[in-house]
Amino acid sequence: MNTKTTVISQEELEHQFAYCDKIAAYWQSRRQVPTAYVETYGCQQNEADSEKLRGYLIQSGYRMISEAEGADVVILNTCAIREHAEQRVFGNLGALTHTKRRHPAQKIFLCGCMAGQEVVSSRIKASYPHVDGVFSTHHLWQFPEILWKVLDGKKRQFYITDEPGSIAEGIPQQRDSQLKAWVSIMYGCNNFCTYCIVPYVRGRERSRQPEDILRECRALIESGVKDITLLGQNVNSYGKDLSCGVDFADLLEQIAQIPGDFLIRFMTSHPRDASNKLFDTMAKYDKIAKQLHLPFQSGSSRILKAMNRHYDRETYLEKVRYAKQVMPSLVLTSDVIVGFPGETEEDFAQTLSLIEQVHYDSLFTFIFSPRPGTPAASMEDPTPKEEKNRRFDRLCALQNAISEQVHQNYVGKTMRCLVDGRDKEFLTARTEGGRLVRFQGCDSLIGSFQNLTITGATTWSLTGELAEQAANHR
């Protein structure tokens, strides 16, 4: 298999734009404004991909709507990370037989990480005849071509060849928010953690050129975006495949030097490659949010080895210690898997003790889900499901208590927050560390940074008031 990243040329992209024009002309000749619905599952990487699909659809004359009923195009952008995620997609895909029966011209597509698995595309070929097209993440840039072929009456389209992956610059993007933006800085993953499907469905690690990323960030900041999240499965290995000598810390520094009032954050960091240089850079710039999502997965070095994570408990704790030392206000979050094959009560106790030691603001907690084709799926797994559920509940109870305690510590503090919307009678805002704060105020504040004094806390969120008002109350 070819292992080189393919860079999609401007010419190839122009070719796709020509398909967009053809599709727009097709609908104009019918005097119709077609509608489209994109449903996104999984992580921010998929959210960012869906913004590109919407960008292409809008360029092809489609109006976006918020449900599948009546839509001329429906796309399910799927996630394969756990079995449960896939079952949901198959359930929802089945339900689309009804929307299509009511609107027979509806064209249905499945893309994203599930589409990168041979077992999934075969199942769709055999058992889901109402699906018109399937394309893996490697083929997203060809979506206009795929859509055109389907509209033009060609047979069902399957763009699912296994590739190391490509980089396409210049795909139009319809962003969800004018305040916050995702910017993918790299694609794919080389880590092959033994439980994880991502490297199989998203291909090899490949970094965008720093100039392209900087240009995108500058344009976003000029257009009023206040919060940028840099995305990659393992941002700390950014640049390893480039020849320009720019690593992730350098890239962050260059973005932080762009003039303007904004915050920049990133996910996900792999602990193996998270360097002191990165933490020092984060500490140096006010524009880099003091927030770190650093998945540990397990507190047991034995299990970490079986997971192929390339760090042990002690190295992880040492990195956290250094990060907290140089950034005392750091908000730390993480991912953890309970019930990895062979996890004993002793291993699990080490996970609990690591959680107590680090004191995360919040955790994303998962029960191990075997993914066909990954090494962990065929490892011996003697622990019964009920025991795994019990461990999961114990872990959640511990973290909830910690989250509540961490949140209580916010009470009385005044923090600079980005006001990002309204939820019924409250405005919503995010602290620099990404915590949700509800407070009372008028809509004109949406889009600005405000100093909020925290007045209350629950496990999940904070309440506050504008700092000047809080001062008047004293």
Taking a C-beta distance cutoff of 8 angstroms, is the pair 388, 368 a contact? yes
Put the strands of the sheet holding 157-159 in their side by side order: 63-64, 35-40, 73-78, 107-112, 133-135, 157-159
Tally Cβ neighbours within 10 Å of residue 192.
Answer: 13
Taking a C-beta distance cutoff of 8 angstroms, is the pair 59, 51 a contact? no
* Contact partners, residue 80, CB within 8 Å, separation at least 6: 42, 86, 112, 113, 114, 116, 117, 120, 197, 201, 371
Alpha helix (H) ranges present in 179-312? Answer: 198-202, 210-222, 248-256, 276-284, 301-306
Residue 82 interacts with which of ligand SF4, ligand F3S, ligand SAH, none, CB < 5 to 8 Å by class:
ligand SAH
Q: How far apart are CA 240 and CA 269, in angstroms?
A: 15
Residue 46 interacts with which of ligand F3S, ligand SF4, ligand SAH, none, CB < 5 to 8 Å by class:
ligand F3S
Taking a C-beta distance cutoff of 8 angstroms, is the pair 121, 146 a contact? no
Amino acid (one-letter) located at 293 = H
- By CB under 6 A, is residue 191 in contact with ligand SF4? yes
Tally Cβ neighbours within 10 Å of residue 153.
Answer: 6
Footprint of ligand SAH on 253-312 (CB under 6 A): 268, 270, 295, 297
Residue 79 interacts with which of ligand SAH, ligand F3S, ligand SF4, none, CB < 5 to 8 Å by class:
ligand F3S
Which position among 5, 46, 50, 269 is part of the footprint of ligand F3S (CB under 6 A)?
A: 46
- As measured in angstroms, the least distance from the Cβ of 38 to ligand F3S is 14
Burial of 408 (0-12, 13-18, 19+ CB in 10 A): middle
Footprint of ligand SAH on 352-381 (CB under 6 A): 366, 368-369, 371
- As measured in angstroms, the least distance from the Cβ of 374 to ligand F3S is 12
- As measured in angstroms, the least distance from the Cβ of 49 to ligand SF4 is 15
- By CB under 6 A, is residue 191 in contact with ligand F3S? no
- As measured in angstroms, the least distance from the Cβ of 258 to ligand SF4 is 28
Which position among 56, 143, 159, 195 is part of the footprint of ligand SAH (CB under 6 A)?
A: 195
Closer to ligand F3S at the Cβ: 42 or 239? Answer: 42
Footprint of ligand SAH on 75-104 (CB under 6 A): 81-82
- By CB under 6 A, is residue 45 in contact with ligand F3S? yes
- By CB under 6 A, is residue 81 in contact with ligand F3S? yes
- By CB under 6 A, is residue 341 in contact with ligand SAH? no
Which region, judged by CB under 6 A, interacts with ligand SF4, from 57-65, 124-132, 195-203, 430-438? 195-203
Q: How far apart are CA 151 and CA 153, in angstroms?
A: 5
Alpha helix (H) ranges present in 203-275? Answer: 210-222, 248-256
* Contact partners, residue 374, CB within 8 Å, separation at least 6: 194, 195, 196, 197, 200
- By CB under 6 A, is residue 377 in contact with ligand F3S? no
Residues lying near ligand SAH in the complex (CB under 6 A) are found at: 81-82, 195-196, 198, 233-234, 268, 270, 295, 297, 335, 337, 366, 368-369, 371
Residues lying near ligand F3S in the complex (CB under 6 A) are found at: 42-43, 45-46, 79-81, 112-113, 197-198, 202
